[in-house]
Amino acid sequence: LQEVTASSRHYVDRLFDLDPQKVLQGVIDMKNAVIGNNKQKANLIVLGAVPRLLYLLQQETSSTELRTECAVVLGSLAMGTENNVKSLLDCHIIPALLQGLLSPDLKFIEACLRCLRTIFISPVTPEDLLYTDATVISHLMALLSRSRYTQEYICQIFSHCCKGPDHQTILFNHGAVQNIAHLLVSTSYKVRMQALKCFSVLAFENPQVSMTLVNVSVDGELLPQIFVKMLQRDKPIEMQLTSAKCLTSMCRAGAIRTDDPCIVLKTLPCLVRMCSKDRLLEERVEGAETLAYLIETDVELQRMASITDHLIVMLADYFKYPSSVSAITDIKRLDHDLKHAHELRQAAFKLYASLGANDEDIRKKIIETENMMDRIVNGLSESSIKVRLAAVRCLHSLSRSVQQLRTSFQDHAVWKPLMKVLQNAPNEILVVASSTLCNLLLEFSPSKEPILESGAIELLCSLTQSENLALRVNGIWALMNMAFQAEQKIKSDILRGLSTEQLFQLLSDSDVNVLMKTLGLLRNLLSTRPHIDHIMSTHGKQIMQAVTLILEGEHNIEVKEQTLCILANIADGTTAKELIMTNDDILQKIKYYMSHSNAKLQLAAMFCISNLIWNEEEGSQERQDKLRDMGIVDILHKLSQSSDPNLCDK
């Protein structure tokens, strides 16, 4: 080490000279020595040049020229390896540079900003460092007017340090939109580009920013129009892609309609082009991800994308990396391919998921793409979580097709890897995977049987106990699907697996969805007479309790309706009937709902009565008498005069 650093030592020594002029010359020589020389940079850092440079930079007595040169050298050091940046951060370079921004000298400010920019775009720098002092952001906003260099560097810092809604809100509240908008028409390409990037991160999944952007104009032109101009095909790809991201965010936030020509005829085709083979791998990933986001919830956009430039076939190429030729011919290329292979695959899965979200024809086209199901199945077991998640999402999207559930899903035994994914997966994967499982458990799905055999009930029951709401919903939803028209054994297994306590827990869940699906499960469990009687004989007391509780509680119409339907099912049982007939409280409630203002609830209550008094059954006369005593016949008479469906009774 000594030998290596010896030649660099005199550079550092000169920083301590008593003559300021010699110090300045020393810094300038150091600047020339380190440019493009990583070894020299590392040496100087080891020899402790950084603290001294920072000292000189902060010293009020230093000349502006010296301070500027110090900032330049520090910026040069930051350009080196990630370790360099770490060393600089350890010396608290950021506060020192931020302090420097208060100087009146523009050249010095620019040098500080340039160095800050280099540090902040490094992946090792925590972006939170920008937000520790609230005055920093407003000062940076003010510096935006100083020169094209301050504009470029500050925009670049913002776009790299804006991660998540908190940062977006801070920047937004400091007037980022107004301060940066006019930079979109700057004469400098770099400034335009960095400003555009700023907007793409500010608006990403942020409705507040997106809604604001749509009404901002620069030189009489609205921002969406400016973005559309930046989409033109002769503009640099980076610019096209970034402005497409801005427009996508604005569209998803509802600021631009999905049928607006600037989305339909400009943004969407532009993003499809970004997926083409001519583009770089990074661009293809970003293009596909952005497009997936754009069309995720709009079936018309999905249809348009699906016919544009053979997108579905084009995406199949995303799975061909690393390509077989590259391995032999070019190691560098192989490395490049490998690095992007995961990203490409997950991007393709995401886009397929969006494309097939709603339209049956598109799903069919996707599945007919070469080796598609195999690719998904492989994707489910990849090591990369991102790929697995995207593959599950894709599978989920495709599982909405009845036809595919019956054919290709069965042919490829998709349930096997899916069940595997569900074991010990992180929550984000579990949510989508369990949701897919819901579809695979639909009664017409041929996968239902094998899934049950592989221990799905246990798994789903455990999901219902999850802290995660979405997992609880999916768990109970899947159980509900499973119970639909199931055989006695399955129903008993579900009840046993879930336990009555858990069932009650779910019935008192704060989330309506969970409650609804649990009631749905109960209703599915309580179907066909022998099942009803069997279940009610074992769990009758608890179920009646739960029903009473819900009918008394503050719930919405749908919940009450579902509960009344459960009662109607119970009333259909042979022995189970008695549980209602002997419960005056319940009978009063049914009576109450018969005269409820909501027709759906009336109808559901009517089903209960109708099942109770069904003539062909034993003891129907007694039940009719009892109900007549309660004054239900009068209500029936009233109802028969009012609306139509009730006429069938009596």
| Residues engaged in binding other proteins (CB under 8 A) | 232-234, 264-266, 269, 304, 307-310, 313
Looking at beta carbons only, is 12 or 228 nearer to other proteins? 228
Cβ burial of 135 (10 Å; 0-12, 13-18, 19+) is: exposed
CB of 228 to other proteins, least distance (A): 10
Looking at beta carbons only, is 82 or 278 nearer to other proteins? 278
Residue 603: how many other CB atoms lie within 10 Å:
19
- On whether the CB atoms of residues 158 and 171 are closer than 8 A, the answer is yes
CB of 247 to other proteins, least distance (A): 15
Looking at beta carbons only, is 82 or 300 nearer to other proteins? 300
Residue at token pair 């042979």: 574
| Of 557, 649, 570, nearest in space to 599 by CA | 557
Query: Is the previous residue joined to 322 through a cis bond, with omega within 30 degrees of 0?
Result: yes
| Rounded distance between C-alpha atoms, residue 555 and residue 562, angstroms | 11
CB of 234 to other proteins, least distance (A): 4
Looking at beta carbons only, is 141 or 262 nearer to other proteins? 262
CA distances from 321 to 57, 369, 395 (A): 49, 17, 21
CB of 401 to other proteins, least distance (A): 19
CB of 233 to other proteins, least distance (A): 3
Q: Token pair of 469, please?
A: 């709401």
Looking at beta carbons only, is 363 or 388 nearer to other proteins? 363
CB of 291 to other proteins, least distance (A): 14
Cβ burial of 236 (10 Å; 0-12, 13-18, 19+) is: exposed
Contacts of 571 (CB under 8 A, 6+ apart): 577, 580, 607, 608, 611, 612
Q: What is the DSSP letter of 262?
A: I
499 half-sphere exposure, CB direction, 13 A CA radius: 8
CB of 301 to other proteins, least distance (A): 11
Looking at beta carbons only, is 313 or 599 nearer to other proteins? 313
Looking at beta carbons only, is 235 or 416 nearer to other proteins? 235
| Of 449, 364, 438, 349, nearest in space to 408 by CA | 364
Looking at beta carbons only, is 6 or 313 nearer to other proteins? 313
Query: Which stretches does DSSP call E strand in 232-391?
Result: none
The 3-state DSSP class for residue 218 equals strand
CB of 304 to other proteins, least distance (A): 6
Looking at beta carbons only, is 215 or 232 nearer to other proteins? 232
Q: Concatenated DSSP letters for 126-189?
A: -GGGGGSSHHHHHHHHHHTTT-HHHHHHHHHHHHHH--HHHHHHHHHHTTHHHHHHGGGG-SSH
CB of 309 to other proteins, least distance (A): 5
Looking at beta carbons only, is 268 or 590 nearer to other proteins? 268
Three-state SS letters, 400-428: CCHHHHHCHHHHCCCHHHHHHHHCCCCHH
CB of 377 to other proteins, least distance (A): 25
